[in-house]
Chain A
Amino acid sequence: MDAERAETYLRLKAETELRRLTTPGGETMALPHPGPAAAQNWPGPPATAQNWPGPPATAQNWPGPPATARLRNVAQALTTVGAIDHVVADAILANFELAVAVRQPAQDRSLISARPAMRRRVARLMQAVSQHPMPAPDPGAPLPGPAAPAAQPGPDRVIPVGMMVPVRDDEVRGELYLMAFSQTPNGARFSVHAWLRDALSDMPPHGAIHLLRDFTATDDQGAGYALGFAGHGTMAGWNGLLRLDRAPPPGVRWLDLACPGGPTRRISLQAPLHPPAVTITEITRSPGEHLLNATALRILTAAAEATVPRGTTSSMALRQTSQLATGLGDIVEALVAAGALSPLSPVPGQLAMLCESLDLREHGITAPPASELPVPWLSMLSYAHRRKPEIVSPRDGCADVAVALPELDGVTISILGLHANEEGTDMHIYLTGIPPDVNPETHLLPTLWLRDDTGRWHAARGKGMNVVHDGEAAAQLQILPPLTRCTSLDIIAAGRSAEVRGSVPVRWR
């Protein structure tokens, strides 16, 4: 890749967009007024990063004239593939917005201070600072306090659990489903999904979080552990991690988990007798191809979501599908200019074909549409074209799918369970090896595809990344189309350097 060419391309694009805005009869120049809508797409603190896989490609929700969205998409694509430093890209965007602002009519001059790129720069700085050590009085000092359990040496392990435990106190009752146990250098945790109800009204309770904080455990050697819940709750349930205050030593065979107001349950920490079969195939994908594949996944998942008639969700998904496709030609051109994508790559043509199959005409890709599409794309396209969900979703169920995939592009992904409800199917994963200097908002992670036992393909897209710390993160992915009551799954993680395939049994409970 060529950073100079990438930067030149982005700057030339800014010139083009500024010209469009200043040409009489051109696009409106209005910049967004600050407000709630404008806040929606700014990167927040690290714990709120939303994007999986990497390329947010979000003209959607982006406040301001279309020129800003187009420029931002190109900037984001170039930073995502590593062709240009995000500091440089942010500065170009911020200066573009200032250039637009000083060409505003006098009455709109207050917008000079409302430039989103400027805010984004500051928010990104906040994120960077929180991830990078700053000069400290004693860099060698140990991590302080009781909330800093040192990671115990021991192998990473991922173990399916598949256990439902009742929980209750005077105000709240419910069930906690323990999907899987995982242990990494940063600690140990269970992935969990909880259904909680108010003991009197049977409605989702307010402030039920206390009930999920009081778990304790004892291992087979008599050592005690405190467990705390970390995650989030909605009307449909609570998802997250039940995190042990320290990692069990390697030799521990089981834990006795004491639940608040409920029984004590024994959980085996021994590796399953028949671990899932996993294969790895080396491939070589350019950063640009990887980005475009991830973009295709986002379009396909948005198109799949649009087929589900759920109030405003489907119309929002339709709009998102269209927005994801709009201006892809600019991104392809930028990637080629930056040397991140070969001009001979077949992927732009495939993406053009995908867009046209979905009647998305504004893609702007100049490559001729390909005659053939990858099989997973075709499968999801046929789902989208059916325009009605033909599947029976497992209502309020969990599956103890657990597998640690081999390292891919430096990142290890552990699948830690599935849960399904009327909102769809979600997959819980845990990531390790996220480089310390990456921006989790834009870092391009491997794409995840799933094939069920009927041969239908599904894709995983980001729903929420709980935390990034020391290169580890817990994330929740939405599976689209939602899974049926399948009994096995092939999971394919596709990165730049390899594809990993794992076959796992699925036991719904």
Chain B
Amino acid sequence: MSSELILNAQKVTKTFGGLVAVNGVDFTIPKGTIVSLIGPNGAGKTTFFNIIAGLYDPTSGTIMFDGAPIEGRRPDEIVLRGIARTFQNIRLFANMTALENVMVGRHVRMRANPFEAMLRTPRERREEAAVRLRAAELLEYVGLGGSAPEYAKNLPYGDQRRLEIARALATDPKLLLLDEPTAGMNPQETASLTRFIRRLRDELGLTVLLIEHDMSVVMGISERVTVLNYGSKLAEGTAAEIQRDPKVIEAYLGSGAIGGTSTAPAGA
């Protein structure tokens, strides 16, 4: 793993009162890779995500992103530096249109202040037009071109997941955090989304960190897999190494999971 690290988290710990949700986790992501974070429910995956995205401050530890420390920064500052995310339970702006949702994602790359908006200066108008166009392109890119004027809450489930990705892409991220993007999808949709995630990396040069329960997705596209269990790192390696690791099999995959096509483990 000689390539440059886009994210380097060292000894990250997060406690809630007496509960240690994340316990001294070291975690790195090489630039341009797809990395997965797996583990049983309650293993601290989403907490770790939220620490990277700035929703939680870590109790201790450091996180370097693209050469600068980001731990303890506000979410909007972290987005500005180039990390965007989706949510496990879809959190779209339900009563805004699909297009407006993506335009909100563009917020952080816009310069216009309210006074320019009141005067509607030429620069502000150009920026609005450009953002509108860019948002429309992104909707097209994720396959929602025809849904621009629809309210987000009226979109079917799978489309909402894609809209969340489009909204995240609108922030021009370098690192995209996807929290269980295939949850609730049928196998066909899941396969389609898996291909799409690979496209994001190949076409847009994104680095992707994935939380995922569906082993077919994890094993299919991740260069590296990290397994969390009870807040600590249990194992790390390529998909193939993880699948053979006896500790992982015991804690998470279950003995029948070696085929690589199983869905969420029963013991989770």
Question: Do A and B originate from a single complex?
Answer: no
Chain B residues engaging chain A, CB cutoff 8 angstroms: none
